[in-house]
Amino acid sequence: MIKRLGFILALAAAAPLVQSCFPLAATGVAAGALMASDRRTTGIYIEDENIELKALGKLHDITGAHVTATSFNRRVLLTGEVYDENVKKQVNDAVRGIESVREVIDETQIAGASSLASQGNDALVTSNVKARMLDNHGQFAVNHVKVVTEAGVVYLMGLVTHREGDAAAEIARTTSGVARVVKVFEYID
């Protein structure tokens, strides 16, 4: 009886710990499902994440830059603002210096750092574009297109066919708050 009571108490004490593992396991499963349907290999998918982390570290140390680096298939899109041409060169050199980067697309602007309101608006535009892409009637898989917004300009990245890229661009173009759409796709057809 004492052994049974001890087992029940141990099980009751461990229950909250087990419950907190479920969201982590579910997140891992969801990430695995996204990677499985991604056109990039798992290695490239992970390398893109590493490139973004390395770029974040390098860009953090550059004064006069408010820049975001987004990697897809080892191609890095730079968006944001830089103080002058010298800072722009520093940013480019820093990202090009990351070993596995194969191309840098520099869309930075020489300007002061964007306001928090502008950044919030860009996040809202990105969310709206992604939400509208969910209802694309089977024209393309949503996880094949990465959406980045800076100053109302929507950048689309991914490995897509021309038809998929055009469909994604049309959805982005007709979304409220979008000033312009820039396709940074790699085409597979």
DSSP string across 91-108: HHHHHHTSTT--EEEE--
**What is the sign, positive or negative, of the torsion defined by CA atoms of 134, 136, 141, 147?**
negative
- pLDDT for 18 equals 52
Looking at residues 175-184, what average pLDDT do you find?
98
Of 21, 123, 189, 170, which Cα lies nearest the Cα of 181? 170
* Most confident option among 10-24, 29-43, 45-59: 45-59
Q: Are the C-beta atoms of residues 146 and 154 closer than 8 Å to each other? A: no
Q: Looking at per-residue confidence, does 1 or 143 come out higher?
A: 143
Q: What is the mean pLDDT of residues 169-178?
A: 98
Q: What are 42-75's pLDDT values in tens digits?
A: 999 999 999 999 999 999 999 999 999 999 999 9
pLDDT for the residue numbered 26: 44
Which residue is associated with the tokens 């570290």? 57
**What is the spatial distance between Cα 28 and Cα 63, in angstroms, rounded to a whole number?**
36
Give 34's Cβ-side CA count (13 Å radius): 13
pLDDT value of position 57:
96
Do residues 55 and 69 make contact, with C-beta atoms less than 8 angstroms apart? yes
Rounded Cα distance between 81 and 157, Å, is: 20
Other C-beta atoms within 10 Å of 150: how many? Answer: 26
Q: Is a pLDDT exceeding 60 seen at residue 5?
A: no
So what's the pLDDT on residue 37? 78
Candidates 97, 109, 46, 93; CA nearest to 72 is 46
Whole-number Å distance between alpha carbons of 101 and 38: 19
pLDDT of residue 30: 45
Mean pLDDT value of segment 21-46? 67
Q: Is residue 12 pLDDT above 80, yes or no?
A: no
Model confidence at 4, pLDDT cuts 50, 70, 90, reads low
Segment 82-104 mean pLDDT: 97
Q: Which of the residue ranges 1-15, 59-73, 143-157, 160-174 would you say has the lowest mean pLDDT?
A: 1-15
pLDDT for 10: 53
Of the pLDDT bands very low, low, confident and very high (cuts 50, 70, 90), residue 134 is very high
Per DSSP, what are the bridge partners of residue 79? 68
